[in-house]
Amino acid sequence: MTQGYFITFEGSECAGKSTHIKLLSKYFLDNGINCVVTREPGGTEIGEEIRQIVKHHAGKNPVADETELLLFAASRAQHMREVIIPALDGDAYVICDRFTDSTVAYQGYARGLDMNFIGTLNRFATIGRSPDLTIILDLTPEESLARRITRNENDRIEAEDISFHSKVREAFLRIASEEPQRVKIISSAGSIGSVHNEIVKTVKNAIASVPK
Ligand code: T5A
């Protein structure tokens, strides 16, 4: 049984996950809480190599959807065993930028791959360890696109059309309605400061409800 506390951030492209993970980890640090920040795909040497392929593969043959799913799962299997489980066992807080809900949303709902198989694969990759708290930063596909235009760069998945990104958003909202205890939605449309305050409030409430 792992200790620690496992928080994941999910949401559409440019929803502000990296920005808010940085702010939350600073909040933990300021409050003397040992915290490990990591991301998917990535977080390990193997995972970062996989990240390059899934985000930027531009060879003449496209990445098949099934290959994409297995690459995310491979990155996660390594990440759990090398980083996340050891950190939780060491009683740290772990904040991870994207996790299994992204696979359900992107490869399941948006790509249309078999949801039961994705469930099995996620359990296999994670050794059955779910996040204690998941924060979905919610942004409409239009708002997400506007932020991406400002940033002026698009990777392989970001370049999918608006209907793909609408399906991803709907999927996250559905996941939150199915697991309200674990998954909290926070609108990312407000100012960075107001979204951060909402995140801190949500995290404090969630931690306070953990049985001692
Ligand atoms: N994926 C991932 C799958 O398909 N399946 C999986 O199983 C997994 C794990 C990962 C890609 O892989 C896919 C999903 C993704 O397509 P990524 O680079 O991690 O790639 O992609 P994102 O997670 O989308 O990361 P981004 O860096 O694009 O977005 P963030 O981290 O959500 O946003 P952030 O913090 O970089 O902010 C983006 C911009 O918005 C501004 C920031 O200043 C920045 O310019 N911003 C705000 N502006 C106004 N108001 C606010 N409240 C703002 N907050 C941030």
Q: What is the pLDDT of residues 106-153, one digit of tens each?
A: 999 999 999 999 999 999 999 999 999 999 999 999 999 888 888 767
- What pLDDT, on the 0 to 100 scale, is given for residue 149? 83
Task: Give the pLDDT confidence score for residue 153 in this predicted structure.
Answer: 74
**Cβ(101) – ligand 1 distance below 6 Å:** no
Gap from CA of 211 to ligand 1 centroid (Å): 32
According to the model, what pLDDT value does residue 98 have?
Answer: 98
- Listed in sequence order, the residues at least 6 apart from 4 whose beta carbon sits closer than 8 Å to its beta carbon are 87, 88, 89, 90, 91, 92, 93, 94
pTM over 0.95: yes
For ligand 1, say whether the CB of 131 is within 6 Å of any of its atoms: no
120 Cβ closer than 6 Å to some ligand 1 atom: no
Q: Is the pLDDT of residue 1 over 70?
A: no
Q: What pLDDT, in 10s, does the model give residues 142-192?
A: 999 888 888 767 788 888 999 999 999 999 999 999 999 999 999 999 999
Each residue's pLDDT tens digit, 35-77: 999 999 999 999 999 999 999 998 889 999 999 999 999 999 9
Contact 7 CB / ligand 1 (< 6 Å): no
What average pLDDT is seen over the chain? 95
CA-CA distance, 27 to 30, in Å (whole number)? 5
pLDDT at residue 212, as a whole number: 73
Ligand 1 mean position, distance from CA 12 (Å): 7
CB-CB contact of 44 with 170 (8 Å): no
> Distance (Å, rounded) from C-alpha 161 to C-alpha 175?
22
Joined tokens for residue 97: 């930028």
Q: Which helix (H) or strand (E) holds 35?
A: strand 35-39
Ligand 1 centroid – CA 212 distance (Å) = 34
* Ligand 1 pocket: which of 18, 80, 109, 165 to mutate (most atoms within 8 A of CB): 18
Report for 10-14, 151-155, 207-211: range of highest mean pLDDT: 10-14
- Ligand 1 centroid to Cα of residue 119, in Å, is 24
Distance (Å) from CA 206 to ligand 1 centroid:
23
Distance CA 87, CA 54 (A): 26
DSSP state of 106: I
Atom of ligand 1 nearest to the CA of 99: 9
